[in-house]
Amino acid sequence: MGVAWVAVGSALGGMARYSLSGFVANRIGETFPWGTFVVNVSGAFVIGLFAALVAPGGVLPGDATVRQFAIVGLCGGYTTFSSFSLQTLNLARDGEWGRVFGNIAASVACCICAVWAGIALGAFMFGG
């Protein structure tokens, strides 16, 4: 069942997010939500790769399992908008408006670029 693939992928993605964002936060500190940023940008890159894989011209066009496991599950569970929202709110509550707009602009810009890069690399590798 497709839902099972989503569940497993999302579980793995969530654990990876917790692990990596925690590692980054421990390294760099929590004055800026670098952990969530790194997770979301890397997740955007990976979803681009998989999107190319299952694109009409890719090697696994329309593959439902890859969609459910990797795109909806893994990437969806790995990346997060709620943490981004909460951390942006907390920055605002601390009066850190520079970081508020920096987090918003950097997250959106870098994630879109990351998707583009992932699709480009994926198209090269998988012909999608």
Burial 100-123 (b: 16+ CB within 10 A, else e): beebeeebeebbeebbeebbeebb
Residue list 49-78, contact with another protein (CB under 8 A) = 51, 68, 71-73, 75-78
Rank residues 32 and 40 by Cβ distance to another protein and give the closer one.
40
Does position 8 bind another protein by CB under 8 A?
Answer: yes
**What span, in angstroms and rounded, lies between the C-alpha atoms of 127 and 120?**
10
Q: Which residues, 12 to 51, sit near another protein by CB under 8 A?
A: 12-15, 17-19, 22-23, 26, 40, 43-44, 46-48, 51
Among 32, 107, 122, 126, binds another protein (CB under 8 A): 107
Q: Is 126 in the site for another protein (CB under 8 A)?
A: no
Query: How far is the C-alpha of 61 from the C-alpha of 73, rounded, in Å?
Result: 18
103 binds another protein, rule: CB under 8 A: no
Tokens (6 digits) for 63: 């593959």
